[in-house]
Amino acid sequence: MRDLLQLEVHDLEVEVLTGIYSEETHLPQPLRISVTADLDMPERFAPDTPLSASKSYIDLKHAATAGLPKDVHFTLIEAVAEHVCETLFVSDKRVQRVEVRIVKLAIAEQGESIGITMVRHRR
């Protein structure tokens, strides 16, 4: 069994063009996106280990925010999650697994979390 490093960025609020109903398709919707990425890691992290031995959390944040195209309408939030996963896999060969949780904020009536979690493994 090999060791993995999990990087996490949680509860990013992002406006994304998504939805299937007419009231959803013309304006961006607020989504709360959380991303966890499992990376291959070195045997040890010494005090002077450089950042290149890990991955910047900003890469995860970027994949779920600025990395999402502003001019593309994602019919399903599953497609949003897929885009985040693919962005991370393409950006770094050490990424072995990505978990993306998306909550649709606009449909919550009493603060409940309604959405999906997608887990993809490098193929």
Over the Cα atoms of the chain, what is R_g?
16
Would the pTM of this model clear 0.85, i.e. be above it?
A: yes
User: What is the structure's pLDDT at 97?
Assistant: 97
Would you place residue 72 in the very low, low, confident or very high pLDDT band (cuts 50, 70, 90)? very high
User: What is the structure's pLDDT at 108?
Assistant: 80
User: What is the structure's pLDDT at 49?
Assistant: 92
pLDDT digits (tens, 9 = 90+) for 39-53: 998 889 999 999 888
Would you place residue 26 in the very low, low, confident or very high pLDDT band (cuts 50, 70, 90)? confident
- DSSP of 52-69, one letter per residue? GGS--HHHHHHHHTTTS-
Bridge partner residues of 4 (DSSP): 40
Domains detected in the chain: 4-44+52-121 (3.30.1130.10)
User: What is the structure's pLDDT at 57?
Assistant: 92
Instruction: Assess whether pLDDT exceeds 80 at residue 23.
Output: no
Instruction: Assess whether pLDDT exceeds 70 at residue 24.
Output: no
Please tell me which residue, 82 or 2, carries the higher pLDDT value: 82
pLDDT digits (tens, 9 = 90+) for 89-123: 999 999 999 999 999 998 888 888 899 999 999 99
